[in-house]
Structure formats: structure tokens, C-alpha cells
Amino acid sequence: MRIAVVPGDGIGPEVTREALKVLGALATAEISLFPWGADHFLKTGETIPAGAFEMLARDFDAVLSGAFGDPRVPDGRHADEILLGMRRRLDLFANVRPVRALDDSVVPLRRARAADVDFVLFRENTEGAYSGRGRVTGAGTSGEEAVEEDVTTRRGVERICRAAFEFAVAFGRTRRPGRRPRVLMADKHNVQKGGGGLWHRVFREVAAAFPSCENRHMFADALAHEMVRSPASLDVVVTNNLFGDVLSDLGAALQGGLGLAPSGNVHPGRTSVFEPVHGSAPDLAGRGIANPFGSIRSLGMLLAHVGRGDLEERIERAVAACLAAGETTRDLGGKLSTGEAGDAVVARLAGGKARGSGRAPRAPVRARRAGASPRRRRAG
Ligand code: NAD
Ligand code: IPM
Ligand code: MN
């Protein structure tokens, strides 16, 4: 298993370190660390080197990523070029964001339990409002106008809808036995007649090819309401890039907060990028208190992507056991540091307890220099 790791900015390196600790406890992998992020950009003027995307696709099975965004780079240029760059240049068209609460204690809704919060968001990840195209005219004048180009293509909608249905079939088999899995598409075709209209038509066409699934449409605003009022009604949700971004933070809240939410930027069969839903959290960076569970669960998704779904399930169970025992960082009411929370997961994987049962095993990691970038090492 060859894994590229891009820890990035802020809490990115802090949470990624814990995910690597968990990886070290589970499997043998060759890890290459890449320094791309705000520090590297400010020092060298380079966001991501020429040829990097081709190198990732060629030399690695998957990428584990931290987060990008730093107040010292106000226009976020490096985040655009690294993060959105990977999504676009590796053609990772499906941003898969599970909304799965692992313990009743983390569900913020008064009348819902963990079992009620278990669905998956499929966010289109390469187009829409993220086209990067647009213009500002008359800057600084009273007539200033900004136009953003929201680009929707038939090919783009078709492939994300198809991926959502294909996933729903498999999800239904294991997680919804005894009933047809549901795929819900959310748009705003009442306002966005062009792009929304295209989503609406193509979703219906794709749905017709999957008679074993129920299909349903809601406007994106109504879906936000439904996610809070009736999350148990949802199995798979498919939507565009910008609605998916906003709804995935709402989804994170439903499963206990941004500290817990995992994601994958996926192109089935290709090198894909896994990262927590949260950002670089400058308010927490350097304090050793960020929750690493989102990154650790993203590692689980990565392992499933490379054929080790068994390890993903073990990670999910270990994190669930930590939550049930209150072995958490302070965002969830616990007392653990980021490092202790990572140790707690490792201890649960080994079937033990984090505290009062001796020290959690450390990942046996041997590092060796491989030039300026990347740093390569083996875990496991
Ligand atoms: P954020 O996700 O970084 O933080 C939002 C809130 O959630 C903050 O209060 C933060 O403290 C909390 N939080 C986030 N992660 C947490 C964790 N692991 N444990 C505990 N609490 C956590 O979003 P933001 O503040 O809007 O953005 C900060 C920067 O991150 C910006 O530059 C933004 O563009 C960037 N960002 C990057 C990514 C990414 O790289 N995938 C995602 C989102 C935001
Ligand atoms: C996310 C983030 C990114 C997005 C930002 C950092 C560009 O919010 O991964 O959810 O908008 O997709
Ligand atoms: Mn987001």
C-alpha cells in the first residue's frame, strides 16, 4: 500500500499524525509525506510542484490529506491550487461524505438516536460554483458587479448520479436489509433553471436505470430542514458542489460535529484523496486539542477504497467505543488531547482501554529522508 500524505495547514498536521498512528497499528504501508501548504508556499512561492498530480496518480494508491487554509494567505491561493487542484486534476468527481453517528451521546437532536443518523452525501466535486470562472467589473465603484460562473454539464451530473445509485444498491444490501434503498437528489431548479433543470432531467434518466432503488427530489432548502427533522428518512443524498459543501457541515453537526466527519474525494478505481470534512481551524491550531476522529475515520474510508473495508469497520467500531466511553477531545465534552484521543483509538483497536490500562502502543514508524520532498517512511 503506497499512501501519499499531505498534512497541510493549521490542525491538519495534528490530526493527520493521529490517523497515521492508527494506520501503523493496522497495516503495513509505505508513507510519503509532502509538505505542500501555507508554510511551504510562504517560504518557497510554490503551491504544488509541476507534475505533482500526475505523480500522485502514478505512484500512489491513495492520498490522505489534512486541511488547507491559513490567515497569512488571505486569498487562499495555495488551498485552491492544492486541494481544489487535486479534486479537479485527479478528476475526483464524487465527494463522498458519510453522515453516520457512532454513539447516541453525540447526536444533537432531542428526539433522534445514533441509529437514526446514517446516510451518505454524494457531492459533485469538479464543477458547479467551483468552476473558478467569473469576473468583477467596476471594482471599488458604486456600480461594482461580480459574476460567478456556475457550470453544470450533463456528463458531470450523470456520473455523480450514477455513482450515488450504484453506492445505494450496495449500501442497501448491508445497511437497509428488507427495503429498497432511497436516493434523494437536491437542487434549486425553481430558481436555477439552467443548471438545476439539467440536474432534474438527468437524475430522472439515471434513476430509471436503477429500479431497485427509490428515487426522490427535494429542493436543497427543504432538504436542510429534513436532515434535522427526519434524518432517518435518508439513505443517499446527491447534490451539486456548493449545496453539498454546505449540507455536509450540517451533516457533520448531526453526527457530533466537524471533529468527527470523514470524507473521500473519489474516482472509483483511481488514486483518490481522503480528508476530514473540517478545515484548518486556526482557532485550535497548535494547541493539541483538535479532534482527530474525522481524520482517523477518513483513513478508514481510504482503506476501504484500496480494498480493506474490514479495516474501515474496525476503525469505526474503535471510534464508537471511544465515544461510548467518553474518551474524546473537549469539543465532545471529553478531556483528551489530540494525541491521547489517537492513542485511545489505537488501544480500542487492540481491544483495550485508553486510560488506566497502561500506555497505548505507538506506531512503529521508521522514517528515512528521500530528498527535500517527499519524506518517505514505512508504517506497520
Ligand atoms: P473549520 O472547519 O476549520 O472550523 C469550523 C469550526 O469547527 C471551528 O470552530 C473549529 O474550531 C471547529 N473544528 C474544526 N475542526 C475541528 C476538529 N478537528 N476538532 C474540534 N473542532 C474542530 O472551518 P473554518 O473556520 O470556516 O475555516 C478555517 C480555514 O479552513 C479556512 O481557511 C477555510 O477555507 C479552510 N477549510 C479547509 C478545508 C479543507 O482543506 N478541506 C475545509 C473547510 C475549511
Ligand atoms: C470542504 C471545504 C472546501 C470546499 C474549501 C476549503 C475550498 O469547505 O472541503 O468542504 O468548499 O469544498
Ligand atoms: Mn466545506
- What pLDDT is attached to residue 352? 66
The owner of cell 481522503 is 274
* pLDDT band at residue 367 under the 50/70/90 scheme: very low
Angstrom distance (rounded) from CA 9 to CA 35: 10
Per-residue pLDDT for 366 more than 50? no
Ligand nearest to the CA of 265: 2
Is 188 among the catalytic positions? yes
What pLDDT is recorded for position 323? 98
Measured from the CB, is residue 69 less than 6 Å from ligand 1?
Answer: yes
Per-residue pLDDT at 376: 65
User: Residue 287: helix, strand or coil by DSSP?
Assistant: coil
Catalytic residue among 39, 91, 188, 353: 188
Nearest ligand (C-alpha, residue 332): 1
Catalytic residue list contains 245? yes
Catalytic annotation, pick one of 118, 150, 245, 343: 245
With CA atoms as reference, report the closest residue to 247 among 298, 186, 292, 290.
186
For residue 125, what is the DSSP state?
-
**Residue written as grid cell 510519503:** 32
Higher pLDDT, 372 or 20: 20
pLDDT 10s digits, 280-293 = 999 999 999 999 99
pLDDT, tens digit, 9 for 90 and up, residues 92-126:
999 999 999 999 999 999 999 999 999 999 999 99
pLDDT for the residue numbered 351: 85
Phi-psi category of 73—alpha, beta or left, where left has phi over 0 and alpha has psi -120 to 50?
Answer: beta
Do the beta carbons of residue 252 and residue 119 sit within 8 Å? no
Ligand 1 atom closest to residue 69's alpha carbon, by position in its atom list: 32
In this structure, what DSSP letter does residue 63 have?
Answer: E
- In a 13 Å sphere around the CA of 15, the CA atoms on its Cβ side amount to 37
Average pLDDT over residues 136-144: 98
Q: Give SS3 for 84.
A: helix
176 C-alpha to center of ligand 2: Å? 30
pLDDT tier for residue 368 given thresholds of 50, 70 and 90: very low
pLDDT at residue 354, as a whole number = 53
353 labelled catalytic: no
Active-site residue 193, yes or no? no
Comparing CA positions, the residue from 308, 304, 310, 324 lying closest to residue 262 is 304
Atom in ligand 2 nearest the alpha carbon of residue 84 = 7
Percent over 70 (pLDDT), the chain? 92
140: left (phi over 0), alpha (psi -120 to 50) or beta: left
Q: What is the model's pLDDT at position 362? A: 42
Instruction: Say if residues 59 and 5 touch (Cβ distance below 8 Å).
Output: no
Pair 54, 4: CB distance under 8 Å: no
Which protein residue's CA is at the shortest distance from atom 38 of ligand 1?
279
For residue 105, with 0-12 CB atoms within 10 Å meaning exposed, 13-18 middle and 19 or more buried, which class applies?
A: middle
Quick check: 379 pLDDT over 90?
no
Average pLDDT over residues 202-227: 98
d(CA 76, CA 194) in angstroms, rounded, equals 29
